[in-house]
Amino acid sequence: MWMRLNLLLHIGVALLETHLDTTFFKLLIELGYFGLH
């Protein structure tokens, strides 16, 4: 039971990190796009 909760926690953190990374990447792309135009 504890191992399963621990695994879910790690998966959740990994998903959160990748989501934050993609959001940050999108912001950078938008800033660069507006900076060019």
Please tell me the distance from the alpha carbon of residue 5 to that of residue 11, in angstroms, as a whole number. Answer: 10
Q: What is the pLDDT of residue 13?
A: 92
**What pLDDT shows up at residue 37?**
65
Residue 21 is predicted with a pLDDT of 87
Report the 3 state secondary structure along 1-37. CHHHHHHHHHHHHHHHHHHHHHHHHHHHHHHHHHHHC
Cα 6 from Cα 27, distance rounded (Å)? 32
pLDDT by residue (tens digit) across 1-37? 788 989 999 999 999 888 888 998 899 999 988 877 6
Is the pTM above the cut of 0.75? no
CA 1 to chain centre: 27
- pLDDT value at position 3? 87
Residue 6 confidence (pLDDT) = 92
Four-residue CA torsion sign, 21, 23, 29, 32? negative
